[in-house]
Amino acid sequence: MPLFTRVSPSIIAVDYNNEEVVKSALENIEDAGANFVHIDVMDGKFVSNKTFDHKFVDFVKNHTTLMLDVHLMIENPEKHVDDYISAGADIITFHYEATDNPESLLKHIKSKNVLAGLAINPETPAYKIKDLLKKNLIDVVLVMGVNPGACGQSFIPGSAEKVAEVRELDKSVYIEIDGGVNVKNSKILRKLGANILVSGSCIFSSKNIKKTIRALKGRAWIVSMNSL
Ligand code: DX5
Ligand code: ZN
């Protein structure tokens, strides 16, 4: 399993309609040691909220050197995925529940040299993706810690067990946990096998973003020695 924990702050937790706010949030998380920026695309159909589309991804790409971790909470992701590839996404994650043919979409994303992520909702059991894992088609499994659609929700405890189940099925895939992640529950999530932690409200509402990101990584002392 990949050794280091990566942190992917979710930009949905800031006032994303304000370009200046977004630019300064991107600078702050980059300085604070984030590995990715998590971009929650919602279409108002797969989930009731609507956020932004590929033009926003394009804007983010132009204002950060962080890798772009794009989470599509949209219907018919196969129809839109190329727009996100063109916008410069480094990981594209779509929902297992949103398409009839996850296998071909995973293959398509991988063929474009973009990491392919598959997200599973709280009610979707881990075994459903067993065959896709066996075929080595998934680079990142995104386990939802909340029902998709909004930031600032409380973590659903069964999601931690699901992280362990996915890790049992595959020792090397990246496991991203998204929704309700905070410093307190990050320890057990890392232990059970999650190695990309998404956090919106916990990071952006904290007084010291750098310390929070270090704590989420669980490697505070190494990071601080490296920065001496
Ligand atoms: C939920 C999103 C998450 C969420 C993270 O639909 O996918 O990325 O916004 O925000 P917090 O960390 O506040 O739950
Ligand atoms: Zn997300």
Q: What is the CATH number of the domain that holds 118?
A: 3.20.20.70
Neighbour-count burial for 22-34, b at 16+ CB within 10 Å, e otherwise: beebbebbbebbb
- Nearest to 132, CA basis, from 89, 86, 177, 99: 99
Q: For residue 34, what are the domain limits? A: 6-222
Q: In this structure, which ligand is nearest to the CA of 181?
A: 1
Atom of ligand 1 nearest to the CA of 148: 6
- Contact call for residues 217 and 7 (beta carbons, < 8 A): yes
pTM, to two decimals: 0.95
Specify the number of domains making up the chain: 1
Q: What is the pLDDT of residue 3?
A: 67
Q: Quick check: CB of 179 below 6 Å from ligand 1?
A: yes
Residue 136 has pLDDT above 80, yes or no: yes
Query: Which percentage of the chain shows pLDDT scores above 70?
Result: 94
Tell me if 139 is assigned to some domain.
yes
Tell me if 228 is assigned to some domain.
no
Tell me if 119 is assigned to some domain.
yes
pLDDT band, very low/low/confident/very high, at 2 (cuts 50, 70, 90) = low
Q: What is the pLDDT of residue 1?
A: 59
Tell me if 227 is assigned to some domain.
no
Tell me if 122 is assigned to some domain.
yes
